[in-house]
Amino acid sequence: MIKKLSFFALIFVCTMTYGQESAINLIPQPAEIQKTGGSFQLSSSSKISYSNQECRKIAELMAAKLKTATGFSIKSEQNTSGSIQLNLNKGPVEKLGREGYSFVSSSKGVVISANEPAGLFYGAQTLLQLLPPEIESKSAVKIKWTLPCVKITDYPRFSWRGMMLDVSRNFFTKEEVMQYIDQISRFKYNTLHLHLTDDNGWRIEIKSLPKLTEVGAWRVPRAGHFGERSDPKPGEKATVGGFYTQEDMKEIIRYAQDRFVTIIPEIETPGHSLAAVASYPELSCTKNPDAKVNPGTPFSEWYGNGTFKMLVDNTLNPSDEKVYQFLDKVFTELAAIFPAQYIHVGGDECYKGYWLQDEGCQALMKKLNIRHVEDLQGYFMNRIESILKAKGKKLLGWDEILEGGISPDATLMSWRSLQGGIEASRMGHDVIMSPLQYCYIDYQQGDQTIEPPLYAGLRMNTCYSFEPVPEGAVAKHILGGQANLWTEQVPTFRHAEYMTWPRGWALAEVLWSPKESKEWTGFVKRAEKQFDRDDLAGINHSLAVYDAIITVARTAGKMTVNMDTEMPGLEIFYTIDDTMPDSKTMKYSGPVVLPEGPVTLRVITYRNGKPLGHLITLDPQELAKR
């Protein structure tokens, strides 16, 4: 009997081991994947070969990554004899397009084929994800370096798979931006949109306008919540900030190009321009010589219906020809640095109150036969578009640019809703979808009592539910989508990682994988494996996906609490008696009616007898608020 039990136990262990080894945990999910059985083992004798010089840099990057974790001195050579082969197709395979690849691994080795080098790079990222998690280690690990035998045919759903990093509100160093490029390219993002200028800092050197970085790149030091800080004091030194020299930016661009990431610069106009106005006050209507780069003070009033009032003038003057001369200088230097076809010009949240009071703006409106001051933004944007076209660049702006009238050649980034993108696509504009309801990864991702304070939340499952081509949109004009990380409440790069991941994984799959393959339960299982990899890589991430989701309703005078989780397979335990919950306290199985009195609810999640989520504590006031 004991022998039989031992035999069945052995079968169970083997089955479990096989299941673990055979699991394919790729993000984003490939278009087509087939397991063929067996595995390939990397060894000290393994080599990477590439078919021509266009592939050399990809092979070198892969060899360096493999060497760090394995300790093997893996070489890359131009031939066809390597156990890992990177081959450009002699004739294009239509299905693969510019960024697709085929991947075949057998016991003898791995062959990655593509029409263009970008596809080989993405195939290399797939190879790294198929290796054990220890591939992310910063030093050599002695393990069995195997990957499963598979056949993969993979290609992206969308050509624009973007991530926006706001470096104006808080400055991130050149090295940190490069780290971010490494991180997003692992998941096949191909665009990094850098928000370089705003009210809180100007981050790119313009040699013909030195005050932009001498003055505009620096603000006075302030602690505390952004939007609640005190104003600069007379004579106070501005010491917080930084900027990228043109050589810095060229280095970032080269680094990104090696990883097939296009850098899109954004110069925010005509609103959100206080850093420029502080540098050159004559660019605004008020020409206030005391204008300062904003350190996070409350300098606007918002009325809850999308309207607002600026308490300081942070806009460029659309009636002043000197403004267009200024922008021509800015865009001349940017066009020479950035090879991307687009320059993003902002266009959002422009307050027109100071224009309305300005004699020059009123005269321009009369000359143009414009009745509404809002239409001046359309005039402004058309002037900017002409400047960009003269430099061989295309205008890209937030969805407000549609309101003042813009040429059909302009590309729109739809942020306020899906509807703006739908309307723009119907008008023939190319559109990048980045609606805040799905793509604003600066929002809280867990319970509001745990996360740093912000006015809105966005959970990973909502990101994953994003559909970039909504009903009514003209599909051929939807270039893709983008996640946006605004950084008012992101003071460090470590926190930028925390806000990006794992929601960035969800959006990567939305933008790369076929719509038909999206399935939440399968995705979160793969995401859990990615947590382990990021731990080894030293990359920060949020675990809010394990936290309970708590809603409260009042029925017949009593509070009823409902609880749920994003992550399947979790158990929820709670207390209402001022004790700490664990796996032996009350287990949630349905709506909980709270007793009368000042009850405090404490909630935590478990799996397999171990706590996973954060402890959530809701006092009587917080329960009543919900």
Burial 22-54 (b: 16+ CB within 10 A, else e): eebbbbbbbbebeeeeebbebeeebbbbbbeee
Q: How many CA atoms lie within 13 A of 218 on its CB side?
A: 10
State which amino acid sits at residue 191. Answer: T
Rg (CA), the chain: 27
Q: Which two tokens stand for residue 197?
A: 């200028």
User: Is 282 strand, coil or helix?
Assistant: helix
Task: Please return the burial class of 240, using the count of CB atoms within 10 Å of its CB with bins 0-12, 13-18 and 19+.
Answer: middle
- C-alpha–C-alpha distance, residues 159 and 475, integer Å: 12
* CA trace torsion 267, 270, 274, 280 (10° rounding): 90
Q: Which two tokens stand for residue 189?
A: 């993002």
- The per-residue DSSP string of 187-221 comes to TT--EEEEE-EETTEE-B--TT-THHHHTTTEE--
- C-alpha–C-alpha distance, residues 347 and 332, integer Å: 19
Alpha carbon 320 to chain centroid, angstroms: 36
Q: Which residues are annotated as catalytic?
A: 198, 272, 349
- C-alpha–C-alpha distance, residues 48 and 127, integer Å: 12
Other CB atoms within 10 A of residue 134 CB: 16
Q: If residue 477 lies in a helix (H) or strand (E), which one and from where to where?
A: none
Q: Are the beta carbons of 151 and 104 closer than 8 angstroms?
A: yes
- C-alpha–C-alpha distance, residues 111 and 541, integer Å: 32
Q: Are the beta carbons of 314 and 279 closer than 8 angstroms?
A: no
Q: Are the beta carbons of 99 and 124 closer than 8 angstroms?
A: no
Q: Are the beta carbons of 274 and 296 closer than 8 angstroms?
A: no
Q: For 283, which DSSP code?
A: G
Other CB atoms within 10 A of residue 450 CB: 15
Q: Are the beta carbons of 270 and 199 closer than 8 angstroms?
A: no
Q: Are the beta carbons of 430 and 409 closer than 8 angstroms?
A: no
Bridge pairing between strands 431-433 and 411-414:
parallel
> At 440, phi and psi to the nearest 5?
-90, 95
Secondary structure string (H, E, C) spanning 392-439: CCEEEEEHHHHCCCCCCCCEEEECCCHHHHHHHHHCCCCEEECCHHHH
